[in-house]
Structure 1
Amino acid sequence: MQKPPAVAVPDRAIGEIVDYVCMSVPGAIRRLGPSQAQLEQMARAKLRERLDAITGRDRLSEALECAGAM
């Protein structure tokens, strides 16, 4: 079963990022020994951070507003 495009694209991007990192710094990956899940989590966080910077999204303000603090 295929994932909807909204999910498949980010998953593919994360896979590409992790593959790039593993090929770029294989020694560091071996020494540090992160799991695939940890690498994906770090890639997802960095991608989200960059996309938010590009789009001007402020997740903290959104969360505070949602919680009624603003």
Structure 2
Amino acid sequence: MVKVWFQHEQNVPSKINIDPDSDIDDLKEKIFGSTDKGQYQTTYNGQLLRPSAEVPRDTTDEMPIVFTKLVNVPSS
């Protein structure tokens, strides 16, 4: 297991243990569940992470993986 730090919205960073071969999609499913995982965008160190990206292992409470809820913007 690998420990990674994550932050959901503006909450205090938390840590979670995941399998070493997990990708971002796996991490989102573990945190948010399969129903809600698609509602979040993932960034780390200012860079957008794709669902297939490897989970960064050098996370800290000061530099966590950040999940931001996607907002559906109505068309004008």
In terms of fraction of residues, the more strand-rich structure is 2
TM-score range, shorter chain: under 0.3
Q: Report which structure shows greater RCO (CA 8 Å, sep ≥6).
A: 2
TM-score scaled by structure 2?
A: 0.23
Larger of the two Rg values belongs to structure: 1
